Amino acid sequence: MRAWRFAGGFGRDNLVLEPDETPEPGPRDVLLEMRAAALNWRDLVVMRGEHRRSVRPPLIPLSDGVGIVIAKGEQVEGLGLGDRVCPAFYQHWQGGPPPPDLGRGRLGGPLDGVLATHRVFPADAVVRVPDHLSDPQAATLPCAGITAWSALSDPAPVRPGEIVLILGSGGVALFAVVLARAAGARVIVTTSSSDRAARLREMGADHVIDRRTVPDWAGADRVLELGGAGTLNDSVRAVRTGGTIILVGNVTGNRADLFLPPVLTRRLTLHSVSCGPVSALRALVRAIDRHRLDPVIGRVFPFRDAPAAFDALERGRIFGKVCVSCQTEGPT
């Protein structure tokens, strides 16, 4: 097998392609031949060495991927050779309340991720994916897809007719547009790009707001706060009295100067989501299969060019998910 690793340290220059022994599955494990991987903003944070101290090199990056079961342990039931599955982002969180050591089980840091030709995972931490999805589409489900799903499911499921405001047009935001529309919600999206605005309307967004010219929005039942410190007060102004702000991302900063009076007097709910358990991945897969939903793919890089995929995500010019094919030429 071959795997991309942050070897001597973090940073793009330390991301190297290394040969390794193909692992053997334990009694309750499956061996996957990886087909595709997808990048998230979190992967840039890891690459920059800005994650918690528990995330250390050497490390195989990326949490989102899909593979084919090519071997399994003798105690594995319910999965067969040839099944196409995604490993869950949280390998140790099956369902219910999050465990106290939630951060310990994350793929792509501190656990080795999926940017490899072969990987072994516990059988109870992988989920079969819908047949209609391509490999890159299926690869986007474990973190980006589940984060959007959780944002529309917690603390209560989105309702038909509910007004959902989604900040931005990144990977999680595009998933949220697709899922919210399938649930019958009215979808409003903010963007600063006229090209992206047109694409978002094609995807079914009811309204697209150019945040460069329309700085104030109001009346949403639920706001998916994907920006962080720089946009949190905008979300407070945008949500209706009694509404909910779902804290998802922090790409604009980690520390927010939050003006509290409207939060207190308007009885707002601030609720955070951090991906979700294996049970949520199964629920997402059922919804995608039932509604025949298609994640939006922007570009797929060949395995040998994986570092260029990090560069592309960092530049932020691609509409849709940035993915890497894990198929290689020649021996692995």
Per-domain residue ranges of the chain: 2-143+276-325, 155-272
The Cα 172–Cα 167 span in angstroms is 10
- Is residue 78 pLDDT above 80, yes or no? yes
Question: Residue 115 in contact with residue 60, Cβ under 8 Å?
Answer: yes
- CA distances, 48 to each of 77, 257, 311 (Å): 40, 25, 12
Could you tell me the end-to-end alpha-carbon distance of the chain, in angstroms, rounded to an integer? 4
The pair of three-digit structure tokens given for residue 49, joined into one six-digit string: 């060495």
157, pLDDT greater than 70: yes
pLDDT of 218: 75
Q: CA 231 to CA 240: how far, in whole Å? A: 16
DSSP 82: T
Residue 330 pLDDT > 70? no
Among the residue ranges 89-98, 111-120, 193-202, the one predicted with the least confidence is 193-202
Average pLDDT over residues 211-227: 81
Please report which confidence band the pLDDT of residue 139 belongs to, taking 50, 70 and 90 as the band edges. Answer: very high
Write the CATH number of the domain with boundaries 2-143+276-325. 3.90.180.10
pLDDT for res 332: 42
- Side-chain-side CA neighbours of 313 within 13 Å: the count stands at 26
Give mean pLDDT, residues 226-253. Answer: 86
Report, as an integer, the average pLDDT of 257-265: 88
Per-residue model confidence (pLDDT) at position 297? 97
pLDDT at 230 over 90: no
Query: What mean pLDDT comes out for the span 103-124?
Result: 97
Q: Which of 285, 263, 288 is nearest to 276 (CA)?
A: 285
Q: Can you name the residues that pair with 66 across neighbouring β-strands?
A: 36
Give the ranges where the chain is alpha helix by DSSP (H): 41-47, 135-139, 146-153, 171-182, 194-203, 232-238, 260-265, 278-291, 306-315
- pLDDT for 331: 44
Q: Is a pLDDT exceeding 70 seen at residue 98?
A: yes
Predicted pLDDT at 215 = 62
The predicted pLDDT at position 273 comes to 92
Q: Which amino acid is at 301?
A: F
**CA torsion, points 64, 68, 70, 71, in degrees to nearest 10?**
50
For 237-268, letters b (16+ CB in 10 Å) and e give ebbeeebbbbbbbbbeeeebeeeeeebeeeeb
Q: Which residue has the tokens 């982002």?
A: 89
Mean pLDDT confidence for 96-121: 96
pLDDT of residue 250: 76
Percent of all residues in the chain with a pLDDT value above 90, rounded to a whole number = 81
Q: What is the dihedral of CA 106, 110, 111, 117, to 10 degrees?
A: 110
The Cα-based distances of 75 to 16, 29, 52 in angstroms read: 35, 8, 35
Q: Per the CATH hierarchy, to which homologous superfamily does domain 155-272 belong? A: NAD(P)-binding Rossmann-like Domain (3.40.50.720)
Residues 6+ apart with CB under 8 A from 106: 63, 89, 90, 91
Q: Provide the phi-psi class of 153: left if phi over 0, else alpha when psi is between -120 and 50, else beta.
A: alpha
